Amino acid sequence: MSLPAAERAAPATTTSPSEAGLLDRALALLRGRPLVVLTGAGLSTDSGIPDYRGPTSVPRQPMTYQQFVSGPEEQRRYWARSHVGWGRFRAAEPNAGHRALAALDPTLLITQNVDGLHERAGTSSLVALHGRIAEVVCLDCRTVSPRAALHERMSRANPGWVEEHADVEVRPDGDVALEETAGFVVPACEVCGGVLKPHVVFFGENVPKERVQRCYDAVEALADGGAHAGGALLVAGSSLTVMSGLRFVKRAAQRGVPVVIVNRGATRGDPLADVKLEVGCSDFCADLLDRR
């Protein structure tokens, strides 16, 4: 099975015979096996969404959960920037990597991304570890509502805000590099009047236990004696800097499950990988689909 010609990336390119050998080794290791795939921001860069730790990214600490809940000033600062970024963020389309992974149909795709592009590409078995930026949750009554509806409310409450800041740089989590946010009006929950927050896991929050357990179970099923014994773990586009993703690589290595990491730049999982490749994620995933 392969992607339609219009949706495929060019074949993965390498710069040396040794890198070509690593590519062949990685593809051979993954070919024909049950797969669990873990993706990070590097998979979405070809869709125009910047990442935090890629070769061209600018280091930056995103807002933490503790900052967000500290009071109205921080909440206004977050929403004023995110309101500008959301229009551009939601316009991103799945790229060849997303589509290739959907066609590969892994036993489970675990993503650290909140952009929803795997879902839009048609991935059927998915855990969005950090939630989805397209949803909003009330911190008081826990009502979950569409981000698009809040965006419309914010636009009515802050006419001209998006247009005034149209040229500001977009950041990986959907906000923008905007410092002056005074005067921005943040709507409250329509159900109870409470504080609204994007339905994503901020730094300083914990990933819900049921999501973590589902991912552990999928990795365990790849090991000897598991439901998908003989499988492998593919990591695509994650530096594995935070434990939310690294723990699954550690579990795979502990259980003897082969690990392939595809990421431009070093990752915390490199010492545990059977093969580490520094090639484009979209290219690699399209190659894997072709040779599956």
Phi, psi of 251, deg, nearest 5: -65, -40
d(CA 74, CA 54): 27
285 labeled binding residue: no
3-state secondary structure string across 18-59: HHHHHHHHHHHHHCCCCEEEEECHHHCHHHCCCCCCCCCCCC
d(CA 102, CA 99): 5
141 labeled binding residue: yes
138 labeled binding residue: yes
d(CA 108, CA 119): 13
d(CA 244, CA 222): 19
Residues classed as catalytic = 130
Q: Please name the amino acid found at residue 114.
A: V
Positions at the binding site: 138, 141, 189, 192
Positions at the binding site for Zn(2+): 138, 141, 189, 192
